[in-house]
A = this chain, B = another copy of it.
Amino acid sequence: MHTADAVETIQREMTVFARRARAAAGRMHPELSLVSYTLLGHLEESGGCRATDLAVHYALDKSTVSRQVAGLERAGLIERRPDAADQRVQVLHLTGAGRHILAQVTESRRAAFRERLADWPAQDLSRFADYLVRYNASPGPGRQD
C-alpha cells in the first residue's frame, strides 16, 4: 500500500469508527454513555481531578463538563471534595458505586473488544495498540490536551 493510500485509508477508517463508536457504546451500556464512561475512567486513572482538567483534557467546553459532572454526581457515581488550597476548586472523586459501575462497563467493553479481536495474532494486536497510542499522542486538530 502506498503512503498516500495508507493515509487516505487511515482517515476513512478512523472516521467510520468514530461514526459508530458512540452509538455502539450506547447500545452496549445504556446506563453509562460513552462520555460518562470516559470521564469516569479519567477520574479513576488520575485518582481525582478538577472539572477544568477534564475539560482541557477532552477539549470540551467547561459548561459541558459541568453538566456531565452534575449528572454523574446526581447518579451517585462521583463526589466533589473541596480543595483545601483553593476554595473555588472541587476535586472530583469516584464513589464506591462509580468505581463499581466503571469496572462493570470496562469489563464488558473489554469482552466485546476481546471477542472482536480474538483471531488477531498477538503481534498485530500489540502493533495496532502501539499505532493508536502514537496517533492519539501526536498533536493535531482537536487535540489540546
Q: A-side interface residues toward B, CB under 8 Å?
A: 1-3, 5-25, 27-28, 34-35, 37-38, 41, 58-60, 109-110, 112-117, 120, 122, 124-136, 138-143
Contact = CB atoms under 8 A, between A and B. Distances in A.
Contact of A24 (B9, B10, B142): B142
Given A125-B7, A141-B27, A116 B135 contact: yes
Counted per complex, copies of this chain come to 2
A96 to B, nearest CB: 23
A10 B58 contact: no
Nearest to A112: B141
Contacts of A139: 116
Nearest to A11: B113
B141 A3 contact: no
A20 B14 CA distance: 11
Contacts of A35: 19
Given A9-B133, A17-B132, A23 B142 contact: yes
Contacts of A134: 120
A111 B22 CA distance: 26
Given A14-B17, A20-B59, A3 B112 contact: no
